[in-house]
Amino acid sequence: MKLSAVIITHNEERNIVRCLDSLQSIADEVVVVDSGSTDKTEELCRKYDVRFEKHPWEGYSEQKNFADSLATNDWIFSIDADEALSDTLRNSIIALKHNEISDTDVFLVNRLTNYCGHWIHHCGWYPDRKIRLFNRNAKRWTGTIHETLADTATATAETLLAGDLLHYSYYSVEDHIRQADKFSTLTAKEAFRKGRKASAAAIWFKPKWKFFKDFVIKGGFLDGYAGYQVCKISAFATFMKYSKLRMLHQNEKIK
């Protein structure tokens, strides 16, 4: 099996070298599609044997589908610039490349997130299972905010690969808050577009339930203070999402 690793980037100078280094032993080709980076992302990528292409941002799914289309191999390993393969996952993929597999098979990975220097094993953040290795003739990216892979062929067999995909998500609490603000706006707008509403009761109750579920039921407390931060900001993101959705409906009434 020939494998193309595909990455989309935008201002990823802090992460891209770690990502590219982790791919060296598994990828027969690396494709990077950049949407207008103004930092050293391109300079760093060109130090490696990669195909680097510039393409205007079209949205997560559209950008990833475009990047996949540039690959010379049908088998794709999709990886984000802030991710890297663990040694165990790398060995799993190397072994897989020597096996006979169907074009409709897909392979999942467990994603382990590093939050401000701490590995998060609970909080609903792990194992965070994702399909990342697939044949592009059988799968295609869909979705506007959180992109997912949809079938373009008949039945697929899903196999979990041993090892973790290491996700270096947030280097500071401020990074997390900014991202929570960004995605709460996007999800509120998407919910508004679909006609969903947010009651005052939902704004009060859902953030509290989110924190209790992640911190207590899903064991966030076992991750210490970092787990508390993750759960607290996730709950705040829930509050912002429903508050912004309610505000969108209120603004609609004023028009």
Q: How far is residue 177's CA from residue 165's CA, in Å, rounded to a whole number?
A: 23
pTM over 0.85: yes
| pLDDT grade for 223, boundaries at 50, 70 and 90 | very high
In the numeric block, which tokens belong to residue 54? 């510039």
Any idea what DSSP says for residue 103? T
pLDDT, the chain, mean: 94
> How many other C-beta atoms are found inside a 10 Å radius of the C-beta of residue 142?
15
Q: Name all domains of the chain by residue range, CATH numbers in brackets.
A: 3-170 (3.90.550.10), 173-254 (no CATH)
Q: What is the pLDDT of residue 100?
A: 86
Per-residue pLDDT at 255: 62
